[in-house]
Every structure is written in C-alpha cells, then in structure tokens.
Homo-oligomer: A and B are copies of this chain.
Amino acid sequence: MTEEQEVFLEHIQKKGLKRTAQRDLILDTFLRMEVHLSSEDLYRLVKQEDPSIGQTTVYRTLKLLTEAGLAREVRFGDGLTHYEHNYKHQHHDHMICSECGRIIEFFSAELEALQDKLAAKHHFQITQHLHRIIGLCAECRRAAREARKQETSAGTQNRQATARSRH
C-alpha cells in the first residue's frame, strides 16, 4: 500500500464514500504514469485493463483525486484538461514548444519567492498558480535555423524576420 493509496482511502472515508475496483484501478494507473495525462489518455490506459469501464467514471475519479490532493488540474490551452501528480511532488511549471509540443518542466525557488513578494504587495493569498511559457525548444530552434540557412543559400529573397511578439 503506497502512501498515495492511503491518502486516497482516508479521503474516501472522510467523505463517506466507497472504495471500488474502478477507483483503485484508475488511481494505480494514474500513479504509474509520471507525465501529464488528459482524462481521455487515462481512459484509454485504464480501458486496456478493464474494457468495461466508463469514460464518466474516469472523469469523476479524477475530480476525486484532485479533491484528495493527489492530482492537480492543468490546462494547456488546447481545450483539454490535463492532470499531473500533486502529492509530495515538488511544484513545477511548464515550457511548451509550440512546434513539437514538447513539455519542459522547470522549477525556480527564486521565481516562487518573487511571486510571494508580488502577492504580498497586493495583499493576495496564493492558493495555486500556473506559469506557462510558450515558445520554441532548443531542437526546434535548431531546425528553424537550418531551414533558414537552406533558404538563403538557395538564393531566394529574404522574407520578413521570424521574430514574433514576446508576451
């Protein structure tokens, strides 16, 4: 019995809910994956193990895990709700490559501290935060550079620079 499972059971009991095979399976599958999952992703995985399980149960269980503090909702702006671990996992934020979709996780104590300072200035009490940086990852930058080089050497006139607004 892992610590997470204990946390889950405790939450279940405190709320007068029931332990079921489906919830156990969904939790285990969720715990096994170390990356962000959408409900859909998790549903597919869980279905491999128990094809009779319903999409709805996955949705409901993910909400439950979030309540229990085991998972945390993350929205990347693609319209899907993703979930990631939230129990004894150090908080981190994300850089998302708009070209290849790669997600880089990062953490900065300095950034967290600065954030606390900003919140204090506005007498704001932080519960949660979300920091998402979108751009090009190292690899896609290299690819873009190469493509540009090729084009130039091919003799075509230069197009407008590829710089974009930085927000």
Contact = CB atoms under 8 A, between A and B. Distances in A.
Nearest to A97: B124
Contacts of A119: 95, 133, 135
Contacts of A77: 73, 75, 130
Contacts of A122: 95, 104, 106, 137-138
Task: Say how many copies of this protein the assembly contains.
Answer: 2
Interface string A82-119: 00001000010001011000001010101100110011
A63 to B, nearest CB: 14
Interface size class of A (residues with CB under 8 A): 35 or more
A18 interface: no
A166 B91 CA distance: 9
11 contacts: A73-B77, A75-B77, A86-B167, A111-B114, A119-B133, A122-B137, A123-B138, A127-B164, A128-B133, A130-B130, A130-B133
